Amino acid sequence: MEIVFSLISTTASKVLQFSGLLDTRNVLKSKKMEEKALEVYDVIRTIRDPEKPNTLEELDVVTEKCVEIQELQEDEYLIIIRFSPTVPHCSLATLIGLCLQVKLQRCLPFKHKLEIYISEGTHSTEEDINKQINDKERVAAAMENPNLREIVEQCVTEPDD
């Protein structure tokens, strides 16, 4: 019986592939993910660096390529951000990750899960920082600190606000 179902499934997939329906669906899904990635990038690119008068985009800390979107369910997405600190020993990498977390949680209009990482090989303590910025309890605790909260607000607030 399993062999029959396997043959039917394979045959159906081939028919869809040859008819172009399978490719069309994949192209549409891919385009949707690209649009979501650009939407996310538009949110994070204007975050200001905690030390410099520049945005993360201007410093190449974030780029369009650093955003990856995966569909988890209909209208729910996994957002993966991989940012690159300006120097391998950047003392504010955790704060930059916190700013990314806060701004995306506030600004995205769709249901999502968020993972933020330092790009591999771009920071001397990337593993420890990756754990910190993806730990919800640590993020919540950090945002309870009035000094940290003020710095984050300065970084994530749009110039027009």
Number of helices (H), then strands (E), belonging to the chain: the values are 6, 3
Residues 126-149: pLDDT tens digits?
999 999 999 999 999 999 999 999
DSSP code at position 87: S
pLDDT at residue 31, rounded to an integer? 85
List C-alpha distances in Å: 53 to 22, 48, 58, 87.
Answer: 48, 7, 10, 16
**Structure pTM?**
0.80
Average pLDDT, whole number, for the chain?
87
The yes-or-no verdict on residue 161 having pLDDT over 60 is no
pLDDT at residue 14, rounded to an integer? 60
Residues 103-132: pLDDT tens digits?
999 998 888 999 999 999 999 899 999 999
